[in-house]
Structure 1
Amino acid sequence: MTKLDMLYNLANKHNIQIHFFDLTITGCLGLNIEKENMPSMIFLDNSLKKDKNKHIEVLAEELGHFFTSVGISVGNIKTYSDKLELNKVENKADKWATNFLITDEEIINLINKNITDINEMAEVLSVPYEIVLKKLKNLSITKQYLDLGNGKYLMLTNFPNLIIYQDIL
């Protein structure tokens, strides 16, 4: 099952309707809409039908909003404080998306197969480069290292540099 299939299956499981429209006027590629007494909906720009990687990235983030955001609207941004709150919401949705699409174990397995190039990781995982980059960035914020087993560690404190440390004891 592809990552895109996984996203659509999750949306279906939670009765989230997905519709394609021309969203150019909104300046965004996806919108998560939740209104009382209405089914949850995600609107995606028509251009995503032609770009699988961007489709995965945008749909994952919009599903991230569904699972992590409550009551925040882009239309209600009037103050700097509102902008900061929106940034928190966007970061939460991004973090959810990257964690759904890529597990820590998948990163560990790739590193143990000597795949450390982010482009190659993205190709093997069938996700956009940006998703892998965000996943590694999120890991570096929350952890100093990933235990790769056998006395090896992926050091995350120097992100975006990926350094593998081998314990020689």
Structure 2
Amino acid sequence: MPDGTPLPQTAAPRPGAPAAMRIGHVHLKVAELERALRFWRDVIGLEVTQRAGDQAAFLSAGGYHHHIALNTWDSRGGPPPAPGTTGLYHVALLFPDRATLGAALRRVLDAGITLEGAADHGVSEAIYLRDPDGNGVELYRDRPAENWPRDAAGGLAMFNRRLDLQALLREASA
């Protein structure tokens, strides 16, 4: 609750979200729309589906109305959020396979963008970076669910190991 009061406990569990639910889109506040477009459109490869002048742009992969929206409505010229404050940790973009993730890595490196990390999590392979406004970005691909690591009880056993970036780049070239 906004005043710090804990939420009341419910007597019975509530039904969960349906398994088919997906996150449809994310809106990001940016300081400069054109700078943000150079990253999200030109490096990441999303397509602009609509613009609202110099205030907002909507971007998509595969013709969806928008996966990422960029706007300057409350943030034109503003600084990135200060470290140690709340907000978006990262937005994660799921690539369909290892080759397309490798191609995205190549575009990121060719643009001179510094990686913050790269990891093999067992269930996925991920690359971490920041957009020009300081928003965290994860580019990743999932392994097939039947190949996910499991513990003896059948629960997920994710881990955090070094991702071989050179092998990923070779996969993109193949």
Check whether TM > 0.5: no
Q: Normalized against structure 2, the TM-score is what?
A: 0.26
Q: Report which of the two has the higher share of strand.
A: 2
Structure with higher RCO (Cα < 8 A, 6+ apart): 2
Q: Report which of the two has the higher share of helix.
A: 1
